[in-house]
Structure formats: C-alpha cells, structure tokens
Chain A
Amino acid sequence: MLQKIYDWIDERVDVTPIWRDIADHEVPEHVNPAHHFSAFVYCFGGLTFFVVVIQILSGMFLTMYYVPDIENAWRSVYYLQTEVAHGQIVRGMHHWGASVVVVMLLLHTCRVFFTGSYKKPRELNWMVGVLLFFVILGLGFTGYLLPWDNKAYFATQVGLEIAQQVPFIGDALRTLLAGDPTIVGAQTLARFFAIHVFFLPAALFALLGIHFILIRKQGISGPL
C-alpha cells in the first residue's frame, strides 16, 4: 500500500534522487560506533537536534493551553499541569528538555573542538554553531519567564539587569526586551512570548538549515 503510493508519486515527480541525495550516504568508519565505540561522540549533534525537535513539538502543544497574559498565564499553566491529562508530562518534556538541549549542545561543541573539526574549510559552520548556541540560550531565557511565577519573574528581573550592563546601549536594550524602562510586566510577558514562540524558532530553523546544508556540502571531518 505505502509502496504503491510512493511509486505513484515517484513515477510522476521522480522524488527518489531528491531524498537519496539528502539521506542516502555512507557513514564513514571513524564516526560509526559499531566500528570504534568511542565514535559515539559523533552522535551528540544528532542528539541535540533530536531534543530540539522535542522542544518544538512539546512547545507547539503547550501553546494550545498557554496564554501570554499576566492575569492568566500562571493560571493557564497551573490548569494544564493539574487538570489536563498528560499536561504534566508534556510540560515536563519542555521544562527538562530545555536543559538537556543545552547539555547536548555543549557536548557536541566539545566534540567539534577536540576533533579539530572547526578548522578550514569548516570555520563558517563553527560560526553558525555559535549563533545557534545564542539562539538556544535566548529560547531558554525568554521561555523561563512564561510560567509567570516568582522564579520566572525574578530570574527575568536579573536577566534584564545583566542586559542593562552592556556599555552605551544597555538601557535601550533593556527597554527593547522588556517593553518598559522599569517594569517587568504585561508588555514584557507579551514580548517574551512572541520572541520565544515566533522570532527565535524562525532564526533557529534558518540556522539549522544552513548548518545541515554546510555539513552535506563539506562532509564530516576526517579521522584524527
């Protein structure tokens, strides 16, 4: 059945070369844990992506219940956590996944560093990786405010103070992030929500796209 649907499409559109080009290539021996167990360090990039996928999916589902409004944000999170079947699990996935993403990302970065994979011709992809790192930190920072509990509020207060320390543009930067020069409130929450759910994910997708295209073009770096 599936094979027939695939053949029907393939006959008309010739999709096989497209996905072959993306997916069908050999895993070199030195990155295959079946040959050298220590090659598992090459899995960290893929694991980071896997956790990012979990974050995106669980985040999309959380948005079905979450409302970015100071009157209702906490209550909507409380409701989804206590009243909605499996809400606790999905929120848990997003909550813990946010930390696991950063851990995986750091392990991946260490692998790239210690195998020297950032060297010519792959400098560009290292830079893209650094941007990805900041985007993911940004997602963690903006997401942390969304439950609108005490921890969220005061953590953001501190985060904004840090932004304010930037020379010359600090004050403007804080206002830009918080929506107000002094208050952490209604406007801050709305902004952080927009940044967390639209702007940074869009940047994340673009950067991941470039990251993967570059890997496909340049191939994985050689053995040590």
Chain B
Amino acid sequence: MSEKKQQVTRRQFLNYTLTGLGGFMAAGMLAPMVRMAIDPVLQESGAGDMANVGLAVEDITNEPQRVDWTITQVDGWYESEVTKSAWVFVNENDEIQAFSPICTHLGCVVSWEGSEEYPDQFFCPCHNGRYYKDGTNVPGTPPTAPLSVYEHSVENGMLYLGQPIPRGEA
C-alpha cells in the first residue's frame, strides 16, 4: 500500500459496487412492472371517430335540441355501447354549434331552458349553474368554464360529431 492518500477506501468501493449491483437488479425487475402499470397514461388517445348522430342538417334550428346517439366504446378488453348527448343548434352567424351537456362545474347534465326562471339559458340543476346560449358560463354561477364543443362535420346532409373539446376558462 502506498503512502498516497486513498480517495476511495476498500470498504466504500465494495459498498458502492454492491449498491449499484443491487440497484441494477431491482431496476431490471421493477422496470417492466412499472411500465405496464403506467401504460394507460402513455397510450395515444385514439383520435375519436366521427359518428353519425342521426340528425339531418336541415332539421337543425335556432333552438338548441338535444341529440342522443350510441357509439361502440372499447374499454380495454370490454366493448360496449354507450350513449352520448349534445345540444345542437345554428347560431346567428349560421354556424352549427354542438355543445357537450356536461356541466363544467362538477359534471352534472345541463338542459336548454332547464329552469323556468332562466329562459334562453342552459341550466344545471345540481348547483344552479347557468350558461348563455353561446355556451359561456354566466358569471356568479358555479361553473368556471364554457360548455365543451363537439368537433363536427357534415356528410350527405347528416351531422357527424366527434370528441368534445373543452374551451378555456372564461
């Protein structure tokens, strides 16, 4: 052994090597398990197919109407039919509007003119949340954001709806 000051003692060296080896083995064991567990977070969200909601464009009026349609939902190993809903109308600029009925407060279902006291508004019965006709939340009521808007397209005169897209806080 030389006189030179030792940078790493024998004991430290063995400690580091064994910790490293143990860590490597533990990581090799846990990595696949953790990757499997977090898989749902890393899945590409399947770009939603547009679904024919069974409403002809010529039947869309200025008055929001509720449309319900079913899609086949693939949930892991389980496939089922689920019903989706939207409030559909044409606005002053002749644009088709399709709003998600899910309240942006805590997720109840809103209805157009759901309260006698507030005509011309969407109303949520859970905590009296309200939205104007263009979907923006009425200030001073519980919701903090406008109703989400469905992506839509028109084919052969029929309305197709895709995923509801949230609008930012207003």
Please tell me if the beta carbons of B77 and A85 are within 8 angstroms of each other in the complex.
no
Q: Are B37 and A61 in contact (CB under 8 A)?
A: yes
A residues near B33, Cβ cutoff 8 Å: 57-58, 61, 86, 90
Residues of B within 8 A of A90 (CB): 32-33, 36
User: Does A146 sit at the interface, judged by CB under 8 A?
Assistant: no
Q: Does A89 contact B (CB under 8 A)?
A: yes
- Set of chain A residues within 8 Å of B8, measured between Cβ atoms: none
Considering the chains assembled together, what is the distance between the CA atoms of A83 and B17 in angstroms?
A: 37
| Closest B residue to A58 using CB positions | B33
For residue A68, give the distance in angstroms from its CB to the closest CB of chain B.
13
Main secondary structure of the interface of B (DSSP, over half): helix
Q: Find the B residue at minimum CB distance from A78.
A: B77
In the complex, the chain B residue whose C-beta lies closest to that of A84 is B39
Q: From B29, B39, B76, B78, give the contact of A85 (CB < 8 A).
A: B39
Q: Are A72 and B37 in contact (CB under 8 A)?
A: no
Q: A65-B76, A75-B77, A85-B42 are in contact. Are A80 and B36 (CB under 8 A)?
A: yes
B39 engages A54 (CB within 8 Å): no
Q: Is A64 an interface residue (CB 8 A)?
A: yes
Query: For residues 53 through 92 of chain A, which have their beta carbon under 8 Å from a beta carbon of chain B?
Result: 54, 57-58, 61, 64-65, 72, 75-76, 78-80, 83-87, 89-90
Residues in chain A near residue B39, CB distance under 8 A:
84-87
- A93 on interface, CB distance cutoff 8 Å: yes
Report B-chain residues with C-beta under 8 Å of the C-beta of A64: 36-37
Q: Does B4 contact A (CB under 8 A)?
A: no
Distance A83 CA – B36 CA, assembled complex (angstroms): 10
Among B35, B37, B77, the most chain A Cβ lie within 10 Å of the Cβ of: B77
Please classify how large the interface on chain A is, using the bins under 10, 10 to 19, 20 to 34, 35 or more.
20 to 34
If the complex has contacts A54-B29, A57-B29, A57-B30, are A87 and B36 also in contact, measured as CB distance less than 8 A?
A: yes
Give A57 to B33 CA distance when docked, in angstroms.
8
The docked-state distance in angstroms from the alpha carbon of A54 to that of B25 is 11
How far is A64 from B39 in the complex, measured between Cα atoms in Å?
Answer: 11
Complex contact A72–B78 (CB within 8 A): yes
Interface mask (B29-58 → A, CB under 8 Å = 1, otherwise 0):
111110111010010000000000000000
Choose among A54, A78, A79, A85 the residue that contacts B35 (Cβ–Cβ < 8 A): A85
> How many B residues touch A, CB cutoff 8 Å?
13
Do B32 and A89 have beta carbons less than 8 Å apart?
yes
Cβ < 8 Å to A, chain B residues 35-92: 35-37, 39, 42, 76-78
Are A76 and B76 within 8 A (Cβ)? yes
CA distance A18 to B91 in the complex (A): 73
Q: Which residues of A contact B29 (CB under 8 A)?
A: 54, 57, 93
Question: Hey, which chain A residues are within 8 Å of B76, CB to CB?
Answer: 65, 76, 79, 83
A residues less than 8 Å from B36 (CB atoms): 61, 64-65, 80, 84-87, 89-90
How long is the Cα–Cα vector from A64 to B30 in the complex, in angstroms? 15
Q: Which residue of A lies closest to B31 (CB)?
A: A86
CB distance from A164 to the nearest CB of B (A): 33
* Max count, chain B CB within 10 A of own CB: residue among A76, A79, A83, A84: A84
> In the assembled complex, how far is the CB of residue B126 from the closest CB belonging to chain A, in whole angstroms?
32
Shortest CB–CB separation between residue B21 and chain A, in angstroms? 13
The answer to whether A86 touches B78 (Cβ under 8 A) is no
By a beta-carbon cutoff of 8 Å, the part of chain B in contact with chain A is 29-33, 35-37, 39, 42, 76-78
Ranked 3 nearest A-B pairs via Cβ: A79-B77, A75-B77, A86-B32
14 A–B contacts from the bound complex (CB under 8 Å): A54-B29, A57-B30, A57-B33, A61-B37, A65-B76, A72-B77, A75-B78, A76-B77, A78-B77, A79-B76, A85-B39, A86-B32, A90-B32, A90-B33
